[in-house]
Structure 1
Amino acid sequence: MMMSTKMMTMVMVVMVVAILQPPLTTAANIFTAFTRGFERQEEIQTLALNKGSGWESREVPSKVWACTGQQRSASDGQITSAEQMRAFLRLFAYLNGRNSRDQELPMGKPVSIEVKTAADGSRELNACFFLPERIQADPPTPTDPLVFLSQRPTLTIFTRKFGGFASDEETWMTEAQGLKGVLTAEGIDTRGDLQYWNAYDPPHKFWSRRNEVWLVKPDEEQA
């Protein structure tokens, strides 16, 4: 299947930037690969619920996301740049027509990594593209067995925005811990087994970047 000119340009940007920068060595650097070369796209619509000092809560609707991921044991090494690039290309291929309809699909935002942590410290990392509303009702099925459609449940999340290029796992975990501390100080609990790391901006945006960690209300449906 031939790539469109637009899609080929995006892939070339991704590959060139990957070559020029230092190796990606952590799980969260999937964001760096997944957000290179993207133009602004339709954003998932959430409902604002409440605001506190340094946090806000929202309802995130149940929507379909295109995802790929892998299990990581507590003793596993860091995810390599090659693994991350393969994950990126799998999702990009789905949008470019590697699906049951050979259909080229639009991409929404944010780019989201779902982080599920088990009691033994192992983690499941699923990198996901939001699918815009016009294909939500009937998205084509991925033909790559490593790509899947995930219907995330409706969730109440607690979040705060932060800027910069969030390209390493330490940044995301620091933000998550900071938000957790703010919420705990106000008597608000969140799930310890699930969080989402979300990036909204293309790489060529240097200022006023938007990143968000989503912490999930404990009594929400298990994702």
Structure 2
Amino acid sequence: MQREGCRMSGGVQEPATTGMITLDDLDNMTDDLGSDSAYNSNGSIEEETEPMEDGEQDRLLNYWQTVARGHQVDVPNDMAEPIQQLTRNGRTEERQKVPFLLLSCKEKCGEILYEKRQYGKAKWACVKMQEERYEQSICLGFMKLMRYICEQNSTGSYLGMSIPILTTIHRDETHTGLSRSVTVAYYIPSHLQADPPQPTDAEIVIEEWPPTVVFTREFSGVTNEESIMREISLLAELLDSPDLCLQDTFIVAGYTNPAAANRRNEIWFLQRL
């Protein structure tokens, strides 16, 4: 990786063909907001044809604020509009899938232990965070990217959501924990790749990441320092040659809202150049 881990880096050619990541709804949330809510009892967004009422924006904001407090994160009131936009557009538009080529898959008794994938060169919007806790960094970084996606960019338009949201992480000097410095990244949708809108937030930087190969394993639940270190150890044990991958830099791919309790995630190891 370059620029303090923001880029994925690999010495491979771009994929000739691509496979698409299977998506879970970004807004999959586990709390039931009530039968008249935009969310059903499983926490997933239900299709609606009517526009949101004025009170719905406040309800969505209050929900985010309540959940975020559990992660010691404050959601400011100016997030109400981005939250509403992302929720509204998520009901009517298919989210952009980050394309990849599946190179191989290791299975045991019908269970996928890990996949080897090739990702092509692409542009990402990146924001570096360094909060006290990992969960604070990913939540605050994601909110910055939400503002960029929802009109706070040079075009003043909604850009469209893509997943997974990636977070690059680093082991600390002792290799027993994670460094506080992380980078949260959003894949620029394909129709904007040639000329990405510029962020109004100076802390968000558009980066072009070269092609790379990753080894990835899916896991569910919360993403905190303890769970991530556990998943790093599990994947290292499963790989035939873990020394072929970077040993101090990894990626957490998130497919669900960082505020959700039951998240769908992946841990990625990056193949050395």
Q: TM-score band (shorter)?
A: 0.7 to 0.9
1:201 to 246, 256, 261: 256
2:66 to 9, 19, 26: 19
Q: What pairs with 1:51-130 in structure 2 (closer than 5 Å)? A: 51-53=105-107, 54-71=113-130, 77-78=132-133, 81=136, 85-117=139-171, 119=173, 122-130=179-187
Deviations 1:38-97 (A, max 9, x none): 53611101111122342221101121112212247xxxx43574x655433321111122
> Contact (CA 8 Å) 2:129, 2:141: kept in 1 or not?
no
Q: Which runs of 5+ in 2 are unaligned?
A: 1-50, 74-82, 108-112
Distance 2:64 2:134 in 1: 18
Partner of 1:161: 218
Distance 2:271 2:119 in 1: 11
Q: Note closer, same or farther for the CA distance 1:91–1:11 as it changes in structure 2 (3 Å cut).
A: farther
Partner of 2:230: 174
Amino acid at match of 1:178: L
- How high is the TM-score relative to the length of structure 1? 0.72
| Structure label with greater radius of gyration | 2
1:198 CA drift (Å): 0.7
Aligned residues: 197
Q: Identity of counterpart residues, as a percentage?
A: 24
Distance 1:106 1:44 in 2: 13
Distance 2:268 2:135 in 1: 25
- How high is the TM-score relative to the length of structure 2? 0.60
Distance 1:115 1:176 in 2: 11
Q: Which runs of 5+ in 1 are unaligned?
A: 27-34
> Contact (CA 8 Å) 2:165, 2:187: kept in 1 or not?
yes
Partner of 1:29: none
Q: Note closer, same or farther for the CA distance 1:133–1:25 as it changes in structure 2 (3 Å cut).
A: same
Give the secondary-structure state (helix, strand or coil) at the position aligned to 1:91. helix
